[in-house]
Amino acid sequence: MRDLFAASVRKNQLLSSACDLTTKTGIVAWLNYLCMQRPTLYHLSMGTAGLSLGLVGARTILIEGTTLGAGLMVLGGGGILLSSLFVLSGQGSSEFEPGNFVWIAVVAAIFSVLGMILTFFQ
């Protein structure tokens, strides 16, 4: 029981140190950057999702011909990508703070890329 408690305490210490700004080495430095740059991470994730959506639409147009759904995927994905690039270039509002919602966007971007890969390699 004591070992289980010690392992739990150690896990909590590791999780709480992930956003500790005093550590500056290796993976922890990368995690610190992600914790501090949530708006950037959010817009990168949304741009990635937009790119993958647009590429799947473009693939559909090239293989099956032009359809309304594929055209909308290209337009929607391109719009998401361009709006993300606009904000990341510094032209957009800097007041946006996604909070913890950023992690939903990251997971959505990962799923989007995985879906695109599975679509291309069927």
Distances (CA, A) of 36 to 18, 26, 29: 11, 16, 11
104 close to 90: Cβ distance less than 8 angstroms: no
pLDDT (tens digit per residue) in 58-84: 999 999 998 888 899 999 999 999 988
pTM over 0.95: no
pLDDT (tens digit per residue) in 79-113: 999 988 988 888 766 677 777 778 888 888 888 88
- Domain match, 30 and 16 both: yes
- Domain match, 12 and 62 both: no
**Start-end of H helices in 18-100:** 26-36, 38-64, 68-88
- Domain match, 47 and 27 both: no
Count: domains in the chain:
2
- Kindly report the CA angle at 18 between 15 and 23, in degrees rounded to 5? 135
- Domain match, 91 and 31 both: no
Per-residue pLDDT, 47 = 93
- Domain match, 48 and 90 both: yes
Find the domain containing 32 and state its range: 1-36
Please say if the pLDDT value at position 50 is more than 70: yes
- Domain match, 107 and 59 both: yes
- Domain match, 59 and 100 both: yes
